[in-house]
Amino acid sequence: MKFTTARLCGGKALMAVSADVMDIDMDKAEAYVKGLGCRVSSKDDMMMIFDWNGMEVTWYSQGKVMFFPLEDKSLCIKYATEFLEAV
């Protein structure tokens, strides 16, 4: 899986953007993260926000995943790959 990354929020957040066109089923994604024991704070057809591993994660149906706070690009891509490959 190929990604580009973007720094957001003054460099305290990273977003991995999939190079592939994706259409994630957010209900399936929600079931996956709840299975990990995560608390989902917001969800609709386009995005979901949840707490994971001490970070706030925003997962978009287009295959974007944002982690806050996170500054390590390689970890950003690793974590995003794990989430996207799970669904």
Confidence of residue 6 (pLDDT cuts 50, 70, 90): confident
Which amino acid is present at 10? G
pLDDT at 34: 97
Residue ranges of the domains in the chain?
3-86
Mean pLDDT of the chain: 92
Q: In DSSP terms, which residues pair with 55 in a beta bridge?
A: 52
pLDDT at 46 over 90: yes
Q: What is the pTM of this model?
A: 0.90
* 3-86 carries CATH number 3.90.105: no
Q: List C-alpha distances in Å: 75 to 28, 31, 57.
A: 23, 23, 13
pLDDT at 60 over 90: yes
How do residues 8-22 score in pLDDT, each as one tens digit? 767 789 999 988 889
pLDDT at 48: 98
Share of the chain above pLDDT 70, in %: 98
